[in-house]
Structure 1
């Protein structure tokens, strides 16, 4: 069976965001299966897209992004 082709995306994240990814991957992992940070990112993308499709949390996500944009400018 051929391997599923995936697109690669490179992003720059802060040390704090990397720590959040690491902690989330650790919390989602079990003794039977370790979860990677990439899997956490894919899960987050799906969750956000699903919520936006259902009209949920739009303003909350915009507020988070606006806050990050202000922090990036500082």
Structure 2
């Protein structure tokens, strides 16, 4: 069976965001299955997209983005 083709995305995150990712992956993991930080990111993308599709107001997401460090995208 051929392997699924995946796109790779490289982003810069703060130490605080990395700690949040690590903590979330740890909390979602179980003794039977460890969850990676990449899986947490994919889950978050799906959750945000689903909420937007359900008519979730964009204001909350925009407020989070406005509070981001503008240098992070450089």
- TM-score with structure 1 setting the length: 0.90
Residues 1:7 and 2:3 aligned together? no
When the two structures are aligned, how many residues end up with a matched partner? 71
- Paired with 1:4 and 1:42, the residues of 2 have a C-alpha distance of 15
User: 1:28 — aligned with what?
Assistant: 28
Residues 1:72 and 2:70 aligned together? yes
Q: Normalized per residue, which structure has more helix?
A: 1
Structure of greater relative contact order (alpha carbons < 8 Å, 6+ residues apart):
2
- TM-score with structure 2 setting the length: 0.90
Task: Tell me the alpha carbon deviations over residues 7-41 of structure 1, each in whole angstroms, 9 at most, x when there is no partner.
Answer: 00000000000000000000000000000000000
Q: How much is the aligned-residue C-alpha RMSD, in angstroms?
A: 1.1
The unaligned stretches of length 5 or more in structure 1 are none
Aligned counterparts, 1:21-60, within 5 A: 21-60=21-60
